[in-house]
């Protein structure tokens, strides 16, 4: 038996589909505590990637062999407990490319065409044309820090707008739609060249506060910073300072060190900041794609093949 632990939308439709794809039955329990109590001997659990799924939950599944996370980022999960119990962890890496790349392109267009201020003027019923000279994405340079599957999708769309694309990643391989790919050690050297800097790296011990005061100082004063990684990959105080002192021109943010972002937080009141509430990966097609990834991993697991999205529990991604 396979268990889905935690609430998912359109559960009946998704369970019916899984039962058509898999040779063993699928159970469903919305409450995580009840799921562990009722189904503590199942070997496979599909569940959330949030802190709500705790080490204690993992311990309650005495026969657990494999946990499939319904998200790509797994930094909130009890990785140490998975290691201790010898549990395989897979994630949904690869499913966010379409929605996130579309939102990121939308965010860059908001800044280049000053659309966020148009919306504010509309709310105030003001016909305002007293804006800085409007920009174009065409000819601008985008630096993608963490050029994985999402970065590739962004690069493809950015090239369609005529942008130059630089990728920063651990493995310096030539990739389609990237004009240049460099290693992490060359990141600071790419920042003065870039008009938009997009952060897509996972949160690990290595990437915690990867962007801080030194990195913002290296950026152009006309540049826009975009964080679609994890909030703690950025030193948020350094970002706020860079915005206040106009070291950078703006920031498009989907993730934050504390979520929900607290009321009265300085970022709320900054005109040069556009905020989305960690929704870039959300789509009407999300769970269709997430469960297809599970089925692909299940087939590989049954056949003794490498699982496509297996997480390295030591590295955290």
* pLDDT tens track for 141-196: 999 999 999 999 999 999 999 999 999 998 888 899 999 999 999 999 999 999 99
What pLDDT, on the 0 to 100 scale, is given for residue 185?
95
- For the chain, give the percent of residues with pLDDT over 70: 100
What pLDDT, on the 0 to 100 scale, is given for residue 203?
92
Domain architecture of the chain: domains with CATH: 2-95+283-303 (3.40.50.720), 97-275 (3.40.50.720)
What pLDDT, on the 0 to 100 scale, is given for residue 217?
98
pLDDT of residue 276 exceeding 90, the answer is yes
Query: Nearest 5 degrees, angle CA 150-CA 227-CA 153?
Result: 15
What pLDDT, on the 0 to 100 scale, is given for residue 130?
80
Query: Nearest 5 degrees, angle CA 201-CA 92-CA 168?
Result: 20
278 catalytic? Reply is yes
Query: Is the distance from CB of 220 to CB of 247 less than 8 angstroms?
Result: no
259 catalytic? Reply is yes
Among the ranges given (32-46, 93-107, 127-141), the one the predictor scored with the smallest mean pLDDT: 127-141
CA 129 to chain centre: 35
What pLDDT, on the 0 to 100 scale, is given for residue 9?
96
The residue from 230, 237, 244, 247 that is catalytic is 230
Residue pLDDT, tens place only, 234-268: 999 999 999 999 999 999 999 999 999 999 999 99
The residue from 259, 265, 272, 289 that is catalytic is 259
Residue pLDDT, tens place only, 56-69: 999 999 999 999 99
Task: Kindly state the average pLDDT of the residues 89-96.
Answer: 96
What pLDDT, on the 0 to 100 scale, is given for residue 173?
83
The residue from 213, 265, 278, 289 that is catalytic is 278
The pLDDT confidence band at residue 294, using thresholds 50, 70 and 90, is very high
Task: Kindly state the average pLDDT of the residues 208-217.
Answer: 98
How many of the other CB atoms lie within 10 Å of CB of 304?
6
pLDDT of residue 124 exceeding 80, the answer is yes
Tokens representing 146 are 């963490």
The pLDDT confidence band at residue 131, using thresholds 50, 70 and 90, is confident
What pLDDT, on the 0 to 100 scale, is given for residue 213?
98
The pLDDT confidence band at residue 218, using thresholds 50, 70 and 90, is very high
The pLDDT confidence band at residue 132, using thresholds 50, 70 and 90, is confident
230 catalytic? Reply is yes
> Is the pTM here over 0.85, yes or no?
yes
């Amino acid at each position: 038996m396979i268990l889905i632990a935690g609430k998912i939308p359109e559960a009946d439709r998704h369970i019916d589909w899984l039962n058509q794809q898999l040779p063993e039955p699928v159970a469903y329990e919305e409450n995580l505590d009840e799921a562990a109590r009722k189904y503590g001997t199942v070997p496979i659990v599909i569940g959330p990637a949030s802190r709500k799924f705790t080490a204690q939950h993992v311990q309650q599944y005495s026969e657990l062999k494999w946990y499939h996370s319904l998200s790509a980022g797994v930094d909130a999960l009890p990785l140490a407990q998975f290691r201790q119990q010898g549990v395989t962890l897979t994630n949904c890496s690869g499913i966010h490319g379409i929605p996130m790349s579309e939102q990121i392109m939308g965010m860059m267009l908001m800044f280049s065409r000053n659309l966020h201020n148009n919306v504010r003027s509309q709310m105030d019923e003001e016909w305002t044309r007293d804006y800085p000279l409007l920009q174009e994405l065409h000819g601008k340079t985008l630096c993608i820090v963490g050029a994985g599957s999402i970065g590739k999708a962004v690069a493809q769309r950015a090239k369609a707008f005529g942008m130059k694309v630089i990728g920063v990643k651990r493995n310096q391989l030539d990739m389609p739609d990237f004009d240049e790919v460099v290693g992490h050690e060359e990141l600071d050297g790419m920042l003065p060249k870039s008009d938009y800097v997009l952060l897509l790296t996972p949160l690990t011990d290595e990437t915690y506060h990867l962007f801080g005061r030194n990195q913002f100082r290296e950026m152009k004063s006309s540049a826009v910073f975009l964080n679609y990684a994890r909030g703690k990959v950025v030193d948020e105080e350094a970002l706020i300072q860079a915005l206040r002192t106009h070291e950078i021109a703006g920031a498009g943010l989907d993730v934050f060190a504390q979520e929900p972002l607290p009321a009265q937080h300085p970022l709320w009141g900054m005109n040069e900041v556009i905020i989305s509430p960690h929704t870039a990966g959300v789509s009407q097609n999300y769970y269709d794609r997430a469960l297809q990834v599970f089925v692909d991993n299940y087939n590989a697991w049954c056949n003794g093949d490498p699982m496509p999205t297996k997480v390295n529990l030591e590295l955290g991604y």
